[in-house]
Amino acid sequence: MAENNDSSDHTHDHDHPHEHDHRHGRGIIGWIKHQIKPHSHGHQEAALDAALATDRGMWALKISFSGLMLTAVFQVFVVAISGSVALLADTIHNFSDALTAIPLGLAFWLSRRTHNKRYTYGYGRAEDIAGVIIVLMIAYSAFEAIRHAVERIIDPQPITNLGWVAAAAVIGFIGNEWVAIFRIRVGREIGSAALVADGYHARTDGFTSLAVLAGAVGVWAGFPMLDAIIGILIGIAILVIVFNTAREMWYRIMDAVDPAVTERIEGTAQSVEGVLDVHDTAVRWVGHRLRAELHIVVDCLITTLASHYIAEGVRHAIFQQFPAMVDVTVHVDPCECDPDEQYHLAAQHAT
């Protein structure tokens, strides 16, 4: 027996406390790792319906796109009057980061379309494809940054207007950090891995802007080659983020989830009265929504109607615990026991 349901047809209360342990080491190094490394929130507090989640995602993209474009345009002006290759690398990356809103916005738009006979699961996977495009765009910006920096080492050029370079670096940090906070917050609210990854990407851009500031200080102190060296380091830092982001998108495309999510689903199902065992649990993300399948074992002597009610209880319990869950399929299996022995036990219990 298989029971199926869609959470969009039901209203659920989502009042469940949760705690997170975000210890990433001690000191400033641990704090920096915590700020720029995507970390999983396995149960994703995406307590929004699909349409509202998409609207919030589009809204976040529009606002953050505007902020990054303003920052990048100002930096272009400063690059033109200063010749700083480190700032050029940062500017290229900021433009790349702003333009990632285009494929992600298209994916959010597609995800609003309802499922049909060809796309039976809907269009949510477009968001994961957009994530792959974003990774490729980030990688390209990294190689461009490194290329310009190497060319500057081979053919050094004077750097002027260091005060403007420093100002552009500070504004770049502020702009990127604001976008990072905004994208990460909204991404977690709607359960979008691509938007969260893009937020951490913007946060890394903020730290590279601070590196540009350090390069400007070095040039002012009499080390002109430091500007090009900082440009190369920025490119390498971007590649590290490419690796981390690509890994997260690989997990989504390969239908991988945090093992803690699977364990929590099984524990939730096991806690429902009448469930004797839970096995063969499968969970996957489709865009920013979760889908799950699992088998439960029930008493082989109860009626079909009774087993149906148990399956309903399992589904509702899972929906309560996972606001991002859009669909749950529960397969009901009878226990493998001796029916005669079970009958006698039931009769003894009745008397």
Q: The domain spanning residue 176 has which CATH number?
A: 1.20.1510.10
Please name the residues in contact with 104: beta carbons below 8 A apart, sequence gap of 6 or more. Answer: 57, 61, 127, 130, 131, 134, 194, 195, 198
DSSP string, 236-299: HHHHHHHHHHHHHHHHHHTT---HHHHHHHHHHHHTSTT--EEEEEEEEEETTEEEEEEEEEE-
Pair (273, 232) in one structural domain: no
152 lies in a domain?
yes
| Residue 285 bridge partners (DSSP) | 290
Instruction: Residue 294: count other Cβ atoms within 10 Å of its Cβ.
Output: 23
175 lies in a domain?
yes
Cα–Cα distance for residue pair 108/194, rounded to 1 Å: 11
Pair (173, 155) in one structural domain: yes
Q: 278 with 295: CB under 8 angstroms?
A: yes
Ramachandran region, residue 191 (left: φ > 0; alpha: ψ -120 to 50; beta: rest): left
Measured in whole angstroms, how far is the alpha carbon of residue 60 from the centre of its chain?
14
Pair (241, 276) in one structural domain: no
38 lies in a domain?
no
The count of structural domains within the chain is 2
Pair (292, 238) in one structural domain: no
Give strand ranges (E) for the chain. Answer: 2-6, 277-286, 289-298, 325-334
Pair (249, 263) in one structural domain: no
115 lies in a domain?
yes
Q: 137 with 100: CB under 8 angstroms?
A: yes
Pair (236, 286) in one structural domain: no
Domain housing 323 = 259-350
Please name the residues in contact with 318: beta carbons below 8 A apart, sequence gap of 6 or more. Answer: 265, 268, 269, 292, 325, 328
Backbone angles phi, psi at 329, to 5 degrees: -115, 125
Q: Pick from 229, 253, 277: which residue ends a domain?
A: 253
Pair (170, 200) in one structural domain: yes
Instruction: Residue 35: count other Cβ atoms within 10 Å of its Cβ.
Output: 15
Pair (279, 230) in one structural domain: no
pLDDT tens, per residue, the chain with 351 residues: 555 544 444 444 434 433 344 444 444 444 444 444 444 433 343 333 444 456 777 777 788 788 878 888 888 888 888 878 777 877 877 787 777 777 878 877 887 788 888 988 888 888 788 888 878 877 887 787 788 778 777 877 677 788 888 888 888 888 888 888 888 888 777 767 667 777 777 777 777 777 778 778 888 888 878 777 877 887 787 788 788 778 888 888 888 888 999 999 999 999 999 999 999 999 998 877 889 999 999 999 999 999 999 999 999 999 999 988 889 999 999 997 765 555 554 455 445
Backbone angles phi, psi at 38, to 5 degrees: -60, 130
Task: Read off the tokens for 54.
Answer: 């998409």
Cα–Cα distance for residue pair 344/301, rounded to 1 Å: 11
27 lies in a domain?
no
- Distances in Å between the alpha carbon of 252 and those of 12, 125, 130, 283? 26, 9, 12, 11
Pair (234, 270) in one structural domain: no
